Chain A
Amino acid sequence: MRLYWALACLGFRRHAAYRGATVAGVFTNTVWGFMIAYVNLALFSSQARVAGYDASDALTYVWLTQGMLMTVAVWYWVDIAQRVRTGDVATDFQRPVDFQGYWLAQDLGRAAYHALFRGIPPVLFASLVFRLRFPSHPVTWLWFLLSLCAAVCVSFSLRFLVNLSAFWIHDHRGVISITSFAFPFLSGLYGIPLAFLPPAVFRVLAVLPFASMGQAPMSVFLERPGTAGTMLLQVFWAAALLALGRLVLRAAERRLVIQGG
């Protein structure tokens, strides 16, 4: 366990090294947050509620998801695929540590850094300009934190699976980049709440694993009805996808051919 803690700290520190990048990222998320916020406000100028959300709910959704983007980190992530391509992954397999756990621990450390330094600043800034809706029960903060952890686990296991495709496909860029755009959209991290989509579409997306990365933690934060069910579904997807990742990893290990000897 100490080992995984050390790995998590490593993930945290690795991202803490680039302060300029953090400031640049916060700036960019904030500019986007403003643009998306005003588009949402234009939607609410003619009606008080959309799909059960009022303007404050929607603005809170916009800004928290801007803050969560990097934490849940569903963007382009190729760390494992790159090591498969170069053959370095063979070294990883020899380490006396579980391969999936090795990467998960580092990713959790990274997520903690991004939650603190990329997540909180844009939301704080926005709360000075807009009236956001913060939880009315203090315990909601705890549920939100747990829900966010589950979101990171689901995100990690999906990225892990997509990266493992590099064992079968020689050039991984295509597969990874298509998923890195599809995942944020399907998860509701793309500007408007997933609930604003047509009800039939929303009902399907809400049970898919992607919603666990965006809409689910936001539903918890906004204290929408059904928090317990939402979080159970998140835990189910996290466990199922991590297990699936292990299965695929087993198959990948069996087929491992190290290029160039």
Chain B
Amino acid sequence: MASTAARPHLWLLRASLRAQVAYRLSFALLTVTAALATFMDFLVIGAIFTHLPRLAGWSLPEIGLLYGIAGVAFGITDICVGALDAFPQIIRDGGFDVLLVRPVGTLYQVLAREFAMRRFGKVAQAGAILAYSIAHLHVTWSAPKVAMLASTLVTGPLIFGSVWVMAMTHVFWTVDTGEVANAFTYGGSFLTSYPINVFAGWLRDLLAFVIPMAFVAYYPVLLVLGRPDPVGLPSFTPLLTPAVAAGVVVLAAAVWRTGVRHYRGTGS
């Protein structure tokens, strides 16, 4: 029964994948671009480390671990919800009206417009840095640490994805300010690649806790490295990650629903 219900979705997914590889050269270049775009962030980190041995007390493999977790999580998020970047366009040209009359959730329809496989390049690149960093870290691995690391594959994309949805929802009201979302999405991906004690107090509190980006990579990594939190939160904070992720998902769903209720169309 469930498989019958899922079949149209699988068809759509397959059609979307086939369309994406239709232009082979472009697909290859777009995949490389996705990998390159985030790799340049790592080149910047690498360049910084040619001038000093530790950044804010963190070694290169330690920051690599942060960067790798954040990058993989962001890559997965980008594959799943990256289609949101086209959302302002959907609102502008009235396409959202069409979504409203279909018997499927609006958010799902916006996301299902494109599961961009080219963004797998991002996951692969960040995964390689993650593997490199794990190989160069001196960590005594234990079951809880492995579990923490593995759970970031789920909690990270949930947090990133929810923030992305919430950051985009304001477009229901303002239409042409979609770029604001970049500060939280791509900006969030940049922020989470660094230890949060690099940033000044107010910026850290805002981006790490109000928008709970610190739970994407930073707190899980603190547990893996067995470090105390320089910000001073208790040592069980990393264990709150799944609860934080669940919380922002619920919040994002509520925010999106509010947006849909206020949707009036652009009159075009």
Q: Is the CB of A181 within 8 A of B33?
A: yes
Q: Is the CB of A190 within 8 A of B40?
A: yes
Q: Is the CB of A43 within 8 A of B176?
A: no
Instruction: Closest A residue to B45 by CB, please name it.
Output: A39
Binds B, one of A109-117, A191-199, A220-228, A249-257: A191-199
- Beyond A174-B27, A174-B30, whether A32 also contacts B180 by CB under 8 A is no
- Beyond A38-B203, A39-B48, whether A28 also contacts B182 by CB under 8 A is yes
23 sample A-B contacts, Cβ–Cβ < 8 Å, listed by A number: A24-B179, A27-B180, A28-B180, A35-B199, A39-B44, A39-B198, A42-B55, A43-B51, A45-B56, A171-B25, A171-B26, A174-B29, A174-B33, A178-B30, A178-B36, A182-B36, A185-B40, A185-B43, A196-B48, A196-B50, A196-B51, A197-B50, A198-B47
- What class of interface size applies to chain A in its complex with B? 35 or more
Binds B, one of A15-23, A94-102, A210-218, A240-248: A15-23
The residues of B that contact A258 with a CB separation of less than 8 Å are none
A50 contacts partner chain B, Cβ-Cβ < 8 Å:
yes
Q: Is the CB of B198 within 8 A of A178?
A: no
The residues of A that contact B47 with a CB separation of less than 8 Å are 192, 196-198
Q: Is the CB of B26 within 8 A of A43?
A: no
B183 contacts partner chain A, Cβ-Cβ < 8 Å:
yes
State the main secondary structure of chain A at its contact with B: helix
A-B contact count (CB 8 A): 108
Chain B positions within 8 Å of A, measured between CB atoms, are 23, 25-30, 32-33, 36-37, 40, 43-44, 47-48, 50-52, 55-56, 174-180, 182-183, 187, 190-191, 194, 198-200, 203
Q: Is the CB of B51 within 8 A of A50?
A: yes
Closest Cβ of chain B to A180, distance in Å, is 8
Closest Cβ of chain A to B121, distance in Å, is 11
| Contacting residue for B40 out of A28, A170, A181, CB 8 A | A181
Q: Is the CB of A177 within 8 A of B29?
A: yes
Q: Is the CB of A43 within 8 A of B187?
A: no
Closest Cβ of chain A to B83, distance in Å, is 15
State the main secondary structure of chain B at its contact with A: helix
1/0 per position for A23-46, CB-CB distance to B under 8 A?
A: 111011001101100110011011
Closest Cβ of chain A to B163, distance in Å, is 13
A145 contacts partner chain B, Cβ-Cβ < 8 Å:
no
Q: Is the CB of A31 within 8 A of B187?
A: yes
- Beyond A21-B176, A27-B180, A32-B183, whether A39 also contacts B194 by CB under 8 A is yes
Q: Is the CB of B176 within 8 A of A31?
A: no
- Beyond A20-B174, A28-B182, A50-B51, whether A190 also contacts B44 by CB under 8 A is yes
A90 contacts partner chain B, Cβ-Cβ < 8 Å:
no
A136 contacts partner chain B, Cβ-Cβ < 8 Å:
no
- Beyond A38-B203, A185-B40, whether A170 also contacts B187 by CB under 8 A is no
The residues of A that contact B178 with a CB separation of less than 8 Å are 21, 24
- Beyond A20-B175, A21-B177, A192-B47, whether A174 also contacts B23 by CB under 8 A is yes
The residues of A that contact B203 with a CB separation of less than 8 Å are 34-35, 38
The residues of A that contact B26 with a CB separation of less than 8 Å are 169, 171-175
A47 contacts partner chain B, Cβ-Cβ < 8 Å:
yes
| Distance of A46 Cα from B53 Cα, bound (Å) | 10
| Distance of A175 Cα from B25 Cα, bound (Å) | 9
Closest 9 pairs between A and B when the two form their complex, measured CB to CB: A174-B29, A174-B26, A171-B23, A24-B177, A31-B183, A171-B26, A24-B179, A20-B176, A28-B183
Closest Cβ of chain B to A189, distance in Å, is 11
| Contacting residue for B30 out of A23, A32, A177, CB 8 A | A177
| Distance of A219 Cα from B205 Cα, bound (Å) | 34
Instruction: Closest A residue to B30 by CB, please name it.
Output: A174
| Distance of A23 Cα from B179 Cα, bound (Å) | 9
Q: Is the CB of A38 within 8 A of B199?
A: yes
| Contacting residue for A42 out of B36, B176, B179, B198, CB 8 A | B198
Q: Is the CB of B190 within 8 A of A35?
A: yes
Instruction: Closest B residue to A184 by CB, please name it.
Output: B40
